Amino acid sequence: MGNKFVQFILALLFPSFCVGCDTEGSVLCAACRNAIVVQRVPTRPAGRSSLSMLYAATEYREQKIASLLIGALKYHGVKRAADHCADILITHLCLAQFAPQKNYLVTAVPLHRKRLRERGFNQSELIAKHIAAQYALPYAPRILARTIHTTPQTEVRERAKRLENVKGAFVCYNAQTVRGKYIILIDDVTTTGATFEACAHALKSAGAKKIIACAVAK
């Protein structure tokens, strides 16, 4: 039995409905996908940054359908939404003329093991795997760990407080993998970039050369 057949049966048993218009068939229909405005240029990392570049594909607040898509993945366990999130990010990376080289590798912002247990999966990891496959780059699972169970960043208002909230919250467990590498770091949503900065700091301390941060939305 082929994988396609299994997927066909699963789609029959558990049909998808579009997050934007509720049409049956897909988590995101073509019309709603086309309605999402994708940025054409990278975002400048704010202030003094450990990031070489920050790519954020779309606007979380303005792009209602994109936020519904991310919410479906993150809070309602709709794993199929990860393909669509990755597609939006890839569209942005193409428009922004991002061209990874051979010494690049892809990884995801980790969840604390407590949150991972609650959610059952790391949404950023699912997106990151698609990105790695798209660019035929190695995907490095779990080279970072979140050691402190922080307050969700969305609940912390100011940038200074957000930076403080995640500072030192990450460690790199695998210096051998990251040494001298360009790391494409994936997250679903970035607000102030504080989480990216904290991850980048840990990766750079472990010997990574450059960190390119990519989020589906900001």
Pair 58, 217: CB distance under 8 Å: yes
Read off the DSSP letter of residue 145: E
- Regarding 18 and contact with Zn ion (CB under 5 A), the answer is yes
Contact set for Zn ion, span 139-178 (CB under 5 A): none
Structure-token pair, residue 98 = 């991002």
User: Please, which residue, 69 or 82, has the CB nearer to Zn ion?
Assistant: 69
The residue range among 25-33, 41-49, 100-108, 168-176 that interacts with Zn ion, by the rule CB under 5 A, is 25-33
Residues in contact with Zn ion, counted by CB under 5 A, come to a total of 5
- Regarding 36 and contact with Zn ion (CB under 5 A), the answer is no
Give the integer Cα–Cα distance in Å for 95 and 198.
Answer: 27
- Regarding 29 and contact with Zn ion (CB under 5 A), the answer is yes
User: Please, which residue, 32 or 199, has the CB nearer to Zn ion?
Assistant: 32
User: Please, which residue, 76 or 119, has the CB nearer to Zn ion?
Assistant: 76
Q: What is the side-by-side order of every strand in the sheet holding 210-217?
A: 53-58, 210-217, 182-189, 104-108
Give the integer Cα–Cα distance in Å for 69 and 71.
Answer: 5
- Regarding 20 and contact with Zn ion (CB under 5 A), the answer is yes
- Regarding 21 and contact with Zn ion (CB under 5 A), the answer is yes
H/E run at residue 53: strand 53-58
CB of 18 to Zn ion, least distance (A): 3
Q: Given candidates 32, 36, 89, 208, which one binds Zn ion under the rule CB under 5 A?
A: 32
User: Please, which residue, 29 or 156, has the CB nearer to Zn ion?
Assistant: 29
Structure-token pair, residue 107 = 């990884």
108 CB-side CA count, 13 A = 24
Give Cβ neighbours of residue 150 (< 8 Å, ≥ 6 apart).
112, 165, 166, 169
- Regarding 46 and contact with Zn ion (CB under 5 A), the answer is no
The residue range among 27-35, 52-60, 82-90, 147-155 that interacts with Zn ion, by the rule CB under 5 A, is 27-35
Which residues make up the interface to Zn ion (CB under 5 A)? 18, 20-21, 29, 32
